[in-house]
Structure 1
Amino acid sequence: MNLFTEIRSLVVGALETMQSEGALPGGLVFDNVTVEPPRDVAHGDMATNAAMVLAKPAGMKPRDIAEALAVKLAGDARITSAEVAGPGFLNLRLAPGLWQAVLRAALTQGEDFGRSDLGRGKKVNVEYVSANPTGPLHVGHTRGAVFGDALASLLDFVGFDVTREYYINDGGAQVDVLARSVYLRYLEAHGATVAFEDGTYPGDYLIAVGEALMAKVGDAYVDQPEAVWLAEVRSFATDAMMELIRQDLKSLGVEMDVFYSEKSLYGTGRIEEALNALDAKGLIYEGVLEPPKGKKPEDWEPREQTLFKSTEHGDDVDRPVKKSDGGWTYFAPDIAYHYDKISRGFDMLIDVFGADHGGYVKRMKAAVSALSDGKVSLDIKLCQLVRLYKNGEPFKMSKRAGTFVTLRDVVDLVGSDVTRFVMLTRKNDAPLDFDFDKVLEQSKDNPVFYVQYANARVNSVLRKAREAGIDVEDATLAAADLAQLDHEAQLAVAKKVSEWPRLVEIAGRTNEPHRVAFYLFDLASDLHSLWNRGNDQPDLRFLQEDDPSATQAKIALARAVTVVISAGLGILGVTPAEEMR
């Protein structure tokens, strides 16, 4: 039950009636008419911008439209008052029975409350993490993993057919560096003294891989030239790293549907097929690019290259796909990979990248637009850096040096639930401070604790009610006399619950799962506020001695809160707390 959608339909219906009566001209489009919570709760329960957005196309004053619309809406039993404010905003107050209906819907539908068919079953591919298979995932990957996984769950919740995908970057030179690093650990396992030079990875995580390689091949590669062992060790090391990455992701509660290898694009004709598709559209040509900004003329050597006309699809400059020596650029396999996604029938593509990939956004969108003739959308979400703190001091990481903070380090220190929730307490494109001490604090300043505490508080009330012999099954609570919930603090909680279906649709439409975390914190705050008022006003307490009817009504409200918290935490990948310890 989306109460905001229901009231918007009422508003649009009233506008259409005004048209039929000649109070509004015909031909108006109501797409931009919204109904939303007012900025100030004192102004009402909902507000509509109808008069403001229709004034210009209707050739009328906003207040004139608003006043006429108010008269129409006031005649509906669901509206107790419709008041014009400012230049033409319309504030609405709703009948109490609507809030009761919302609570009953939450109790009846359970964690399906708020689900919608926004996505209409469209196929969406969410690609996230996609780290080079050269070592364990670090904390930067953790944020992308949490964001991508929560986004995938959010889209599933609002009706999309979601595929979670990991792109294995195993086609570049960094995998050869990994192989050489593992070979050094292999020699070390045989008792040799080795030195990590030329950019090889010195991390201890490769010790076990080197030992496993020795167990597999014995001394077959000792003192052998690189040509003998490189290909085999590269494959062995990549498999070992991907198994480590899978286990890291599992510790965070992330499971992928597809692992796609970049290497599978090379030597298989797939890159050529994708570029031929662009060539057939007249978008591939031989040319010379202008020097990059900031390059001095004497530093620039113009070279003819194979280029993609990405500027015809919104990019700033055309992009090379083949170098002058005949080798592919990094962009070419990425084009082929996205062409493969399009060929698999996805209606929407979402890529979750690190902040350092900002320069890739326009070219990648141009490629998808060109390859799909604009039929497949691509949204690229950039995740900014995570700054780690412990004991008031910043944590540093350096993948090359082997001293980076891994995903597993974070999960082991604070747990998967805390890690996931905290990673979503900022919008993805804003930097995030992760303080190991603060995220474990039991205070209002810690959002994950505050939300979990609200859920645990309600569960404690449910346990006490059952011990007192009061029936608090959801079906019974849904049938309770909810008209008893008439205090402003109780109604504030009910109104916040009613926002959930609207909020989750907005989050799904904008691909912003952090909105769910923010909403859950606000909902928990309203519940805690009501709870604390019960300390001074006994009639607001959830358990009312000698009055089972009042108790059931009040617990129905609290239980509706936990229904929404459970659904929201489920989207975030967090397990609701039954009790706090």
Structure 2
Amino acid sequence: MNLFTDIRSLVLQSIAALQAEGALPEGLDTGAVTVEPPRDALHGDMATNAAMVLAKPAGKKPRDIAEALAAKLGQDARVTSAEVAGPGFLNLRLGSATWQALPAKVLSAGQDYGRSDMGQGQKVNVEYVSANPTGPMHVGHTRGAVFGDALASLLAYAGYDVTREYYINDGGAQVDVLARSVYLRYLEAHGRAVDFAPGTYPGDYLIPAGERLKEKVGDRFVDAPEDEWLEEVRDFATDAMMDMIRDDLDLLGVKMDHFFSEKSLYGTGRIEAAIEDLRGKGLIYRGTLEPPKGKLPEDWEPREQTLFKSTEHGDDVDRPIMKSDGSWTYFAPDIAYHYDKITRGYDQLIDVFGADHGGYVKRMKAAVSALSGGRVPLDIKLIQLVKLFKNGEEFKMSKRAGTFITLRDVVEEVGPGVTRFVMLTRKNDAALDFDFAKAVEQSRENPVFYVQYAHARVCSVLRKAKEAGVDVSDAALAQADMTKLDHDAELGLIRKLAEWPRLVEIAAKGHEPHKVAIWLNELASDLHGLWNRGHDEPSLRFLQDDPATSQSKIALARSVAVVISAGLGILGVAPMEEMR
């Protein structure tokens, strides 16, 4: 149940009543009418922009509409006052009984409180991580993995049918470099001295792969020319790296529904089919591009190429899809991959890319728009960099990887739950500082600790109440006399709980899972605030001498824990029942 949606429905019913009376014209578009928390809590519990939105099409002054609406809304038992503010905003106050009814609804719904049908089962493909299979995942991949996974969970919670997908970049030259690097480790396993040339991968993580290759093929490739071993070693090395990546993802709690191989697009006609689809729409042609803006590269020369007319779908320039030697550009298989996703029947596509892919956004959106005839939207979320700090200094080196901090380094240092929560404390397109000390610090300044502590505090209350003989099952707590929750601090906490279903829909609509983490911190703050007030005001303590009063107050606390648990579940973080 969503109280904000309920009150919005009441506003729309009041508008309809005014239309029936002739006070408002028929046919008004009410799609932009909102009901939301006011900017200043002193102004009321909810505010609606209805009068402001309808004034111009209705040909009336906003305040006149607002006053008529206020009279209608005031007739509902839930509304204790409806006040017109400024040029025509309408501030509403709801009666205590409306708020007091909420904890029981939360307890009855459990983890489904806040779950939405907004998505109406639309099929959404969320492609994320998609790291090149050339080594272990680094900290940048970690943030993308956490963001994509939390976004997928958020969308599923909001009623979408979500597929989590990993695109394996195993069709380019980098996998040949990987094969040569593994081959060097293979020679090393045979006791040969090797030299890692510039451009190869010298990290220790390839040592086990070289040893396993030795176990598999013996000395068959030791002195063989490259053309005899490259293809087999490339496949072996790619599989070995994907096994490592799957292990890393598993360590972080990320489970993919589907792995898609770029290599499967080559030699199968799938790239050609996608390009032919564009050609049939008149979007493939032979032409010469304008020179790049700014200083020209020394090797640049105008030449005729096969181009995709991406400018017809919002791009800045048309894009080459075939090289002068007849081979595909790197853009062509990406077009084919997204064509495959469209043909699989997805209603929305979401790609999670690193910040270095910013220049790729418009061309990819243009391709999806062209291939789907504008039917399937593509949202590309760019993940900004993560800086790691330890002991007050930037932390840069991983001996095992050779040049970077791995996902495993971070998770083994602070744990998967802390890693995930911290990675979601900032919006995806904002840089993030990850301080190992602060991530495990037990203080108000550590958001993951603060939220977990709130959940653990409630669990502590439940244990003590149970020891005192109070029935703390959700079913029993839902039957408690909630009219005893009449203090402003208690009602304020209930008002915060009422925001959860609305927050879920806002975050899902904007593809912004970080909003869940931020809101959970606010909810935890309200719970801790009520707890602390109980030190000075015994009537606010969750455990009271009167069992009936205790049960109502425990019901409120338990409602907070239910919502925290649901929110942490979206983020992929297990709630803590006690802090150690």
TM class by shorter chain equals: over 0.9
The corresponding residue for 2:561 is 562
The corresponding residue for 1:377 is 377
Task: Give the secondary-structure state (helix, strand or coil) at the position aligned to 1:163.
Answer: strand
Task: Give the secondary-structure state (helix, strand or coil) at the position aligned to 1:437.
Answer: helix
- Cα displacement (A) at 1:295: 3.5
Amino acid at match of 1:227: D
Task: Give the secondary-structure state (helix, strand or coil) at the position aligned to 2:129.
Answer: coil
1:144-155 to 2 correspondence within 5 Å?
144-155=144-155
Q: Does 1:71 align with 2:68?
A: no
Provide Cα deviations, 1:425-484, integer angstroms capped at 9, x if missing partner.
Answer: 000011010000001010111000000000000000000000000111111111111011
Contact 2:205 2:401 in 1 (8 A): no
Provide Cα deviations, 1:173-196, integer angstroms capped at 9, x if missing partner.
Answer: 000000011011111111111111
1:15-414 to 2 correspondence within 5 Å?
15-296=15-296, 300-396=300-396, 402-414=402-414
- Cα displacement (A) at 1:329: 0.5
Task: Give the secondary-structure state (helix, strand or coil) at the position aligned to 2:101.
Answer: helix
Task: Give the secondary-structure state (helix, strand or coil) at the position aligned to 1:362.
Answer: helix
Amino acid at match of 1:566: S
Task: Give the secondary-structure state (helix, strand or coil) at the position aligned to 2:260.
Answer: strand
Q: Percent same amino acid among aligned pairs?
A: 76
Within 2, Cα distance between the matches of 1:308 and 1:268?
Answer: 21
The corresponding residue for 2:552 is 553
Q: Structure 1 stretch 426-435 or stretch 65-74: which is displaced more?
A: 65-74
The corresponding residue for 1:529 is 529
Amino acid at match of 1:563: V
Within 2, Cα distance between the matches of 1:403 and 1:214?
Answer: 26
Within 2, Cα distance between the matches of 1:477 and 1:305?
Answer: 71
Shift in alpha-carbon separation, 1:13–1:314, aligned structure 2, 3 A = same
Provide Cα deviations, 1:343-389, integer angstroms capped at 9, x if missing partner.
Answer: 11111111000001111111111111111111111111111000110
Task: Give the secondary-structure state (helix, strand or coil) at the position aligned to 2:521.
Answer: helix
Task: Give the secondary-structure state (helix, strand or coil) at the position aligned to 1:83.
Answer: strand
Task: Give the secondary-structure state (helix, strand or coil) at the position aligned to 1:271.
Answer: helix
Contact 1:82 1:91 in 2 (8 A): yes
Within 2, Cα distance between the matches of 1:28 and 1:397?
Answer: 62
Amino acid at match of 2:529: S
- Cα displacement (A) at 1:26: 2.3
Within 1, Cα distance between the matches of 2:216 and 2:356?
Answer: 38
- Cα displacement (A) at 1:157: 0.5
Contact 2:187 2:194 in 1 (8 A): yes
Within 1, Cα distance between the matches of 2:191 and 2:514?
Answer: 51
Provide Cα deviations, 1:201-235, integer angstroms capped at 9, x if missing partner.
Answer: 00000011111111111111112211111111101
- Cα displacement (A) at 1:397: 5.3
Provide Cα deviations, 1:287-307, integer angstroms capped at 9, x if missing partner.
Answer: 111011113397530111111
Contact 2:472 2:551 in 1 (8 A): yes
- Cα displacement (A) at 1:524: 0.4
Q: Structure 1 stretch 179-188 or stretch 94-103: which is displaced more?
A: 94-103
Amino acid at match of 1:364: M
Contact 1:202 1:400 in 2 (8 A): no
Amino acid at match of 1:194: V
Amino acid at match of 2:459: N
Within 1, Cα distance between the matches of 2:377 and 2:18?
Answer: 38
Q: Structure 1 stretch 446-455 or stretch 214-223: which is displaced more?
A: 214-223
Amino acid at match of 2:18: M
- Cα displacement (A) at 1:68: 1.3
Contact 1:199 1:400 in 2 (8 A): no
- Cα displacement (A) at 1:17: 1.1
Where do 5+ consecutive residues of structure 1 fail to align? none
The corresponding residue for 1:442 is 442
- Cα displacement (A) at 1:398: 8.5
Where do 5+ consecutive residues of structure 2 fail to align? none
The corresponding residue for 1:577 is 576
Within 1, Cα distance between the matches of 2:206 and 2:363?
Answer: 35
Within 2, Cα distance between the matches of 1:175 and 1:516?
Answer: 38
Contact 2:35 2:47 in 1 (8 A): yes
Within 2, Cα distance between the matches of 1:123 and 1:295?
Answer: 45
Task: Give the secondary-structure state (helix, strand or coil) at the position aligned to 1:183.
Answer: helix
Contact 1:201 1:401 in 2 (8 A): no
Q: Structure 1 stretch 414-423 or stretch 290-299: which is displaced more?
A: 290-299
- Cα displacement (A) at 1:164: 0.5
List 4+ stretches of structure 1 deviating above 3 A: 295-300, 397-401
Provide Cα deviations, 1:105-160, integer angstroms capped at 9, x if missing partner.
Answer: 11001001111111111111100000000000000000000000001111111111
